Amino acid sequence: MRHLLNPLDFSVDEVQYMLKLAQNIKNNPEKYSHVCEGKKLATLFYEPSTRTRLSFEAAMLNLGGKTLGFQSADSSSASKGESVADTIRVISCYADIAAMRHPKEGAPMVASLYSGIPVINAGDGGHNHPTQTFTDLLTILELKGRLDNMTIGFCGDLKFGRTVHSLINAMKRYDNVTFILISPEELAIPQYLKEELIAGNFKFKEVRQLEEVMGELDILYMTRVQKERFFNEEEYIRLKNSFILDSKKLNLAKKDCYVLHPLPRVNEIAVEVDNDERAAYFKQVQNGVYVRMALILILLGLDKVVEF
Ligand code: CP
């Protein structure tokens, strides 16, 4: 039995295979519409979500399976004090695979130690969000035709943004990728990630202004300032408008510099940018369903049922 806790749990070859499977599902959805008949996915969400939870549910329904789950800690027995370990033991009696989101870093990993079914990390605190990363990789691959030889800018809350942490780690495995880290000092990437970039001799720089690097980027990965992870509301209010991408700033970018965002957006991308053909964040959302369909098939050992 295999879990997905960190994007690096899959080798580069395995990621390539999953993305290829996701693309085949995207091109031939009808071929996969019965593969998971009789299977159940449990969504265990201790933190709010729109995209991740609903795209997991859509993925399982598209595969012919069924779903069950809870949307918040308050509506589960976690509110009575039940542990993650006990919860996953129970869910293992009801479902074939589980996707878990939790505010505490490492909670899905703890669940995996006690689980009788594959556990997928659907976002753990400020740590990792592997299925968002696979979604991002598929979107970049489709837009640019490659995952290597590129300059990617990460802008916004790089301290708490788990999608940023996961995608940096995933992109480090491809040749000649340059990372440009655009944030206020208070929201810079965690020290351990910076040390890993230095130790691995990766090309990166930290800047405080988006405008000064726009022309260098092949991909701009915008992020929301993560209000829910601040201890101090005043600090959030001071930092929340640090970066706002509007059409004027995007006009400084290359014609094929695509803008990604894991969403939800608050105000860091002006709505006027949505009409620019380089705005790719809603394509990302759509790709999330195909990637999660591919992942469910792989973790359930059903990925070879349809030949491609
Ligand atoms: N991208 C993402 O994780 O969105 P949700 O919080 O809505 O799931």
Per-residue pLDDT, 129: 97
Instruction: Clarify whether 89 is annotated catalytic.
Output: no
Instruction: Clarify whether 52 is annotated catalytic.
Output: yes
Residue 190 to residue 205: CA distance in whole angstroms? 14
Per-residue pLDDT, 90: 98
Q: Is 132 in the pocket of ligand 1 (CB under 6 A)?
A: yes
Which of 43, 51, 132, 165 should be mutated for ligand 1, with most atoms under 8 A from CB?
51
Per-residue pLDDT, 240: 84
Closest CA to 185 of 118, 242, 228, 101: 242
Q: From ligand 1's centre to the CA of 201, what distance in Å?
A: 31
Q: From ligand 1's centre to the CA of 7, what distance in Å?
A: 16
Q: Which residues of the chain have pLDDT under 50?
A: none
Per-residue pLDDT, 242: 83
- Cα angle 290, 295, 301 (rounded to 5 degrees) comes to 130
Q: Is 22 helix (H, G, I), strand (E, B) or coil?
A: helix
**Radius of gyration for the chain, computed over Cα atoms and rounded to the nearest angstrom:** 19
Per-residue pLDDT, 231: 77
Q: How far is CA 88 from CA 82, 83, 85, 202, in A?
A: 10, 9, 6, 38
Place of tokens 């916004």: 156
Q: Is 52 in the pocket of ligand 1 (CB under 6 A)?
A: yes
Per-residue pLDDT, 308: 87
* The amino acid at 245: L
Per-residue pLDDT, 12: 98
Residue 283 to residue 139: CA distance in whole angstroms? 7
What pTM, to 2 d.p., does this model score? 0.95
Taking CA atoms only, the protein residue closest to ligand 1 atom 4 is: 51
Residue 189: DSSP 8-state: P
Question: Which of 3, 40, 53, 101 is an active site residue?
Answer: 101
Per-residue pLDDT, 236: 80
Instruction: Clarify whether 131 is annotated catalytic.
Output: no
Instruction: Clarify whether 80 is annotated catalytic.
Output: yes
* φ, ψ dihedrals at 128, nearest 5°: -140, 155
Q: What is the pLDDT of residues 2-16, one digit of tens each?
A: 999 999 999 999 999
Residue 62 to residue 288: CA distance in whole angstroms? 13
Nearest-atom index, ligand 1, CA of 123? 3
Q: Is 263 in the pocket of ligand 1 (CB under 6 A)?
A: yes
Name, in order, each residue with C-beta under 8 angstroms of 108's C-beta and a sequence gap of 6 or more. Answer: 3, 5, 100, 102, 119, 120, 121, 122, 124
Per-residue pLDDT, 53: 98
Instruction: Clarify whether 304 is annotated catalytic.
Output: no
Per-residue pLDDT, 270: 97
